[in-house]
Amino acid sequence: MNIVLVLIPLSIVLLSVGIWAFFWSVNNAQFDDLETPALMPLCDDPPPLAHGDKDASEAENKPQ
């Protein structure tokens, strides 16, 4: 029966933390766009570099 004296305040503290976390996420725009993050893995890779940019990337890869 003594465990009830621990579990009731603990559950109230956890409930208040959960409610605070929910309102914090709503105020910080965490729920504004729910569809875009789910579609991000479906996006294509960026296009490869053009020939003019290839020279610059080769210069970075050359050992000094």
Distance of CA 58 to the CA centre of its chain: 34
CB atoms within 10 A of CB 39: 8
pLDDT tens track for 17-32: 999 999 999 999 888 8
- Joined tokens for residue 33: 């766009």
What 3-state class would DSSP assign to 44? coil
Give residue limits of the domains in the chain. 1-43
According to the model, what pLDDT value does residue 62 have?
58
- pTM confidence score: 0.53
Give first-to-last CA distance, the chain, whole Å.
74
R_g over Cα of the chain: 26
